[in-house]
Chains A and B, each alone.
Chain A
Amino acid sequence: MGGIIQEAKYSCALGSQQSVLAIPRAIPIIHAGPGCSARQFSYLSAGAGYQGEGYAGGAQIPCTNSTQNEVVFGGEKKLGKLIDATLDVMDGDLYVVMSGCTAGIVGDDVKQVAEDHSTKEKKVIGVDTAGFRGNNYKGHNLVLEALIEQFVGDVDEEIEPEKGLVNVFSVVPYQDVYWRGDLEEIKRILTGIGLKVNILFGYGSEGVSEWKNIPNAQLNIVLSPWVGLSAAKLCQRKYGTPFLHEPVLPVGLKATSAFLRRVGEALELDTDKVESFIKYEEKRYKKYFVSIGDFLADYSSYIPFDAYVSADDIYGVGISDFLENELGIEVVKFYDSSEPNNASKDRIKEKLESIKEGLGERVVFEGDNALIKEDIKRNIDERKTKSVIFGSSWDRELAYNTKSVLIYLSVPILEKVIVSKSYVGYNGGLQLIEDLYSGVLNKGFIAHTTVEK
């Protein structure tokens, strides 16, 4: 990508410091200029519904604060001192040195410095996440690969996979504002069909012991169009672990049940057990779904029938599937803001086409949210249909001006406090229904009624 964009919905590769923080008791050590790390935190944590510093985030993150001195003479020595000091005062299970642009341009070898300062008790790894290497989706991929290469490492003997153990490579922590709830739900449904799950990030993860256990998995599940795919391929090469690529994040009943059946087939699980869990979940889901029937009937004139999904492709494709195939809402356009490469773009188009004929043609790959908003406004004005916009705080004014429902799906989100919310799986689908139709009752959405007054 070249040129300037407005209202970005992602950060640079160094933003993957948040991925490290999402691993319990893992500590990032940043080799970058002053302010780089703080801004990543500000954008991806505070800007993701005020998610807090956590165990070692925010102002606690050690950083070399590189200046011209490190540009002239190199910063490896200073980094070495910082690593030693960090190991002395910060209690962690894993330390990940990450470089920013300054170190990347100068050519400091963070991997080597990390290796030199790693001890038997305290493992330190290094990854080049210089901002010019790409956005934080790509940064997340780099972190995943570095963890597998340098922390999980090689295995000496031929592996006998543990039956029913799976690794999940999925959403990007913090960049996906609902990552905590999402990963909990993914783990819950997979556990429900009888699997043991290395979810790897978040409160449901056991931390570094899960990462060490990666080579023993029977299957890797990639729940994303392209993020995490390189890590799964790396595991296949290193450990011989096969992977199931699921480009669509399951949202709602249909997608979640279908996903679980595909996982069951891939692992040759006991069909009765899988179906029994699905049956229980679907029965519960349908009861809730039916309960909003009265509301839908009463407010049918105000229900949005057009949707504009402005999000990354991990969530955006899953949400589009749910809207089209479960709620009957037409996705007028899907604006993919995650900057996939060309091969991934083709895969995303293909997948969207399989969700709904013609949807593959309605995807726009665009990182500039100002341009996205212009296009949404133009479409709403032309179609004159009640709409729902899936976006971020950048889209708040647009939603208000077009009397559309706004569902928050991307950073930055500054009007909500996010804790355990999720739109993934059975529970996520219900949560999305709740939020979407609650939006109909927002001030100004229903004209000339007591609700508006």
Chain B
Amino acid sequence: MENTLVAVGYDNDPNTKVSFREIKNAAIYELSDDNIQQIDNRTLPDVAAYPVPDGGGCAGRNDEYVNAIADVLHDCEYLLLKEVGAYPSRVLLRRGIQTLEQEGDIESLLIKIQQYLKARR
């Protein structure tokens, strides 16, 4: 299996995933056939710097903000979160990053992604 990078979005505690609107950091994991390893920790753009677009909603509707996140996660195939809206998901997908939303502990979710990647080959 070609190694795949999975970003896990979190607020302040790297062991707790959060919703898209709360992310401040991303832990980067490298998944191979037989190994899961955290290789990096990246600070994401400050949401406060990006105004909510006209019409309201969350910062996830601001393309500039979502694209700035995509720039930081440019080498990742997945972004794992607790929750994410359809709009930022579509913007990220256009940049080649698939969002995955699921509750549960990070380790077991990464194992599921690893199993999926193996089966997908």
What is the interface of chain A, defined by CB distance below 8 A to chain B? 68-69, 71-73
- Asked if residues B98 and A73 are in contact (CB atoms below 8 Å), the reply is no
Q: Which residues of B contact A71 (CB under 8 A)?
A: 116
16 A-B pairs whose Cβ atoms sit less than 8 Å apart in the complex: A68-B98, A68-B100, A69-B99, A69-B100, A69-B101, A69-B102, A71-B116, A72-B100, A72-B102, A72-B112, A72-B113, A72-B116, A73-B100, A73-B102, A73-B109, A73-B112
Instruction: Give residues of chain B (104-121) contacting chain A, Cβ–Cβ below 8 Å.
Output: 109, 112-113, 116
- Min CB gap B79→A, angstroms: 11
A69 to chain B, nearest CB (A): 5
**Which of chain B's residues have a CB closer than 8 A to the CB of A72?**
100, 102, 112-113, 116
Given the complex, which residues of A lie within 8 Å of B112, measured CB to CB? 72-73
Q: Which residues of B contact A (CB under 8 A)?
A: 98-102, 109, 112-113, 116
State how many angstroms separate the Cβ of A377 from the closest Cβ of chain B: 44
Give, as a whole number of angstroms, the nearest-CB distance from A399 to chain B: 44
Interface SS of chain B: helix, strand, loop or mixed? mixed
Closest CB of chain B to A386's CB: distance in Å? 56
Q: Nearest chain A CB to B121's CB is how many angstroms away?
A: 14
- For A73, give the chain B residue with the smallest CB separation: B102
Question: In the complex, what distance in Å separates the CA atom of A72 from the CA atom of B109?
Answer: 9
User: Would you list the 10 A-B pairs with minimal beta carbon distance, nearest first?
Assistant: A72-B116, A73-B102, A69-B100, A68-B98, A72-B113, A73-B112, A72-B112, A72-B100, A69-B101, A71-B116
Least CB separation from A65: chain B residue = B86
Within the complex, the shortest CB–CB distance from A70 to chain B, in Å, comes to 10
Q: Which residues of B contact A68 (CB under 8 A)?
A: 98, 100
Knowing that A68-B98, A69-B99 touch, tell me 14 more A-B residue pairs with CB under 8 angstroms. A68-B100, A69-B100, A69-B101, A69-B102, A71-B116, A72-B100, A72-B102, A72-B112, A72-B113, A72-B116, A73-B100, A73-B102, A73-B109, A73-B112
Whole-angstrom distance between the alpha carbons of A68 and B92 in the complex? 14
Most B CB contacts (10 A, CB to CB) among A69, A71, A72, A73 go to A72
Say how far B65's CB is from chain A's closest CB, in angstroms: 22
Shortest distance from the beta carbon of B18 to any chain A beta carbon, whole Å: 17
State how many angstroms separate the Cβ of A232 from the closest Cβ of chain B: 40
Contacts of B116 in A (CB 8 A): 71-72
B113: A residues at CB distance < 8 A: 72
Which residues of chain A come closer than 8 Å to B101, judged between CB atoms?
69
A243 CB to nearest chain B CB (Å) = 43
A68 to B113 Cα, complex, angstroms: 10
Within the complex, the shortest CB–CB distance from B75 to chain A, in Å, comes to: 18
| Cβ–Cβ < 8 Å partners of B100 in chain A | 68-69, 72-73
Complex: A72 Cα to B99 Cα, angstroms: 11
Chain A residues with Cβ under 8 A from B109's Cβ? Answer: 73
- CB neighbours of B102 from chain A (8 A): 69, 72-73
Measured CA separation A241–B116 after assembly (Å): 47
How far apart are B118's CB and chain A's nearest CB, in angstroms? 12
Quick one: closest A residue to B102, CB to CB? Answer: A73
Whole-angstrom distance between the Cβ of A80 and the nearest chain B Cβ = 13
List the A residue with the shortest CB-CB distance to B120.
A71
B108 CB to closest chain A CB (Å) equals: 10
CB nearest to B109 among chain A residues: A73
Q: How far is the CB of A73 from chain B (nearest CB, A)?
A: 5
Q: Across the two chains, which residue of chain B brings its CB closest to A72?
A: B116
Tell me the complex Cα distance, A153–B101, Å.
Answer: 38
Residue of A nearest to B116 (CB): A72
Closest partner residue, chain B, to A69 (CB atom): B100
Distance in Å from the Cβ of B77 to the closest Cβ of chain A? Answer: 10
Complex CA–CA separation, A7 to B101 (angstroms): 39
Residue of A with least CB distance to B98: A68
Distance from A427 Cβ to chain B, minimum over Cβ atoms (Å): 50
- Residues in A neighbouring B99, C-beta threshold 8 A: 69
A102 to chain B, nearest CB (A): 13
In Å, the complex CA distance between A73 and B116 comes to 9
In the complex formed, the residue of A with least CB distance to B117 is: A72
Interface centre among B102, B109, B112, by most A CB within 10 Å?
Answer: B102
Chain B residue with Cβ nearest A71: B116
